[in-house]
Amino acid sequence: MTNPEIHTPVLLDRCVELLAPALHRDGAVVVDATEGMGGHSEALLERFPSVRLIGLDRDTDALRIAGDRLARFGDRVHLVHTVYDGITGALASAGVDRVDGILFDLGVSSLQLDEADRGFAYAQDAPLDMRMDQTAGTTAADIVATYSEGNLRRIFERYGEEKLAGRYARAIIEARGRAPLTRSGELVDVLVAATPAAVQRERSGHPAKRVFQALRIEVNAELAVLERALPAALDALNVGGRIVVMSYQSLEDRLVKRVFADASASTAPSGLPVELPEHAPRFRLLVRGAELASDEERERNPRAKPVRLRAAERVREAM
């Protein structure tokens, strides 16, 4: 099992800094909606001694590691096995209605990438699984074995933004007709063989990179879950509460950007001479655009390279 001490949380200091103004009051509650191995949670609990933390994760291995790591904080920690669109139910299970801070660190976790037998990494041969919650759901092998050519092409285009989606879908259909594709190495071989040599020379990334991303998103319904989770998270914040979201690919970041833009915009009809209180924005943005990791952090922690951070603060109740 991966040692949590070797995991370096992305943008740790910046996340703590952004959440800090909402967490100084006695009895403040913060939600780590993507608990992982507990690195961000540990820092928040250490920095704010009166804060209670509710940690969510669909990965039982991650929850076990986080539970051990955070055990010294006792009843200040409440961990819940759930996907982050279950945030409302998770709060209810902890006896909480509203919270003061929420953190999302989206995408595949270091634990999932580092455990070869989870099947997330195209560089390591493993069972073609990719489930973040290994207790339930459809595997990547199931999708590769049962989806039609059209559906494979659709998810490769939509979730992987893959220009060779049609070519790869056809190659998978042909290959599975000869033998089942049950391992990540087998799928990588099919994708590499289907990639023209000229494209392989031109591309900076591995031919399998975007297809693996698409399969992972499909297996875990990541975008659909996020689309439900963000509004629920915003609704759960007290006035003065803050939310920080870190995304690692453009589809997630565009969704976060849209939800935050809507929440921070006036709803006053065009041409209204005076903005009525009920039309005032409910949130204000805390950073301009999407923040990136510093060059120093990107060098120190390669997993920080693609991160895009956005943050907002609740400034009024809904009317």
pLDDT tens digits, residue range 161-175?
999 999 999 999 999
The whole-model pTM stands at 0.89
Q: Are 21 and 88 found together in one domain? A: yes
Q: Are 82 and 123 found together in one domain? A: no
How far is C-alpha 290 from the geometric centre of its chain's CA atoms? 15
Q: Which residue has the higher pLDDT, 110 or 4?
A: 110
Q: Is residue 185 part of a domain?
A: yes
pLDDT grade for 121, boundaries at 50, 70 and 90 = confident
Q: d(Cα 212, Cα 207) in Å, to the nearest integer?
A: 10
Q: d(Cα 55, Cα 90) in Å, to the nearest integer?
A: 9
Q: Is residue 14 part of a domain?
A: yes
Q: Are 232 and 211 found together in one domain? A: no
85 is in an annotated binding site: no
pLDDT tens digits, residue range 259-268?
999 999 876 6
User: What's the rounded mean pLDDT across residues 137-164?
Assistant: 95
Q: Which pLDDT does position 317 carry in this prediction?
A: 81
Final residue before a domain boundary, out of 185, 220, 255: 220
Q: Give the residue from 161, 155, 150 showing the smallest Cα distance to 216.
A: 155
Q: d(Cα 120, Cα 215) in Å, to the nearest integer?
A: 9
Q: Which pLDDT does position 148 carry in this prediction?
A: 97
57 is in an annotated binding site: yes
Q: Which of 83-87, 113-117, 227-231 has the lowest mean pLDDT?
A: 113-117
Q: For residue 130, what is the domain's CATH number? A: 1.10.150.170
Overall domain count for the chain: 2
Q: Are 227 and 237 found together in one domain? A: yes
Final residue before a domain boundary, out of 181, 197, 220: 220
Q: Is residue 123 part of a domain?
A: yes
Contact 18, 242 (CB under 8 A): yes
For residue 147, pLDDT beyond 80: yes
Q: Is residue 92 part of a domain?
A: yes
Q: For residue 16, what is the domain's CATH number? A: 3.40.50.150
User: What's the rounded mean pLDDT across residues 295-313?
Assistant: 94
Q: Are 227 and 90 found together in one domain? A: yes
Final residue before a domain boundary, out of 220, 250, 280: 220
105 is in an annotated binding site: yes
Q: Is residue 33 part of a domain?
A: yes
Total number of residues shown for the chain: 319
Q: Which pLDDT does position 279 carry in this prediction?
A: 63
Write the CB contacts of 302 (distance below 8 Å, at least 6 apart in sequence).
none
Supply the mean pLDDT for the chain: 90
206 is in an annotated binding site: no
Q: Are 10 and 101 found together in one domain? A: yes
What does DSSP say about strands 237-247 and 308-314: parallel, antiparallel, or unpaired? antiparallel
Q: Is residue 111 part of a domain?
A: no
Q: Which residue has the higher pLDDT, 114 or 105?
A: 105
Q: Which pLDDT does position 206 carry in this prediction?
A: 86
For residue 195, pLDDT beyond 80: yes
Q: Are 227 and 93 found together in one domain? A: yes
Beta bridge partners of 275: none
For residue 191, pLDDT beyond 90: yes
Q: Are 211 and 148 found together in one domain? A: yes
User: In which domain, by residue range, is 193 found?
Assistant: 117-220
- Neighbouring CB atoms inside 10 A of 236's CB total 22
Q: Is residue 319 part of a domain?
A: no
Q: Are 135 and 199 found together in one domain? A: yes
pLDDT grade for 3, boundaries at 50, 70 and 90 = very low
213 is in an annotated binding site: no
Q: Which pLDDT does position 280 carry in this prediction?
A: 81
Q: Are 239 and 214 found together in one domain? A: no
Q: Are 232 and 202 found together in one domain? A: no
Q: Are 130 and 210 found together in one domain? A: yes
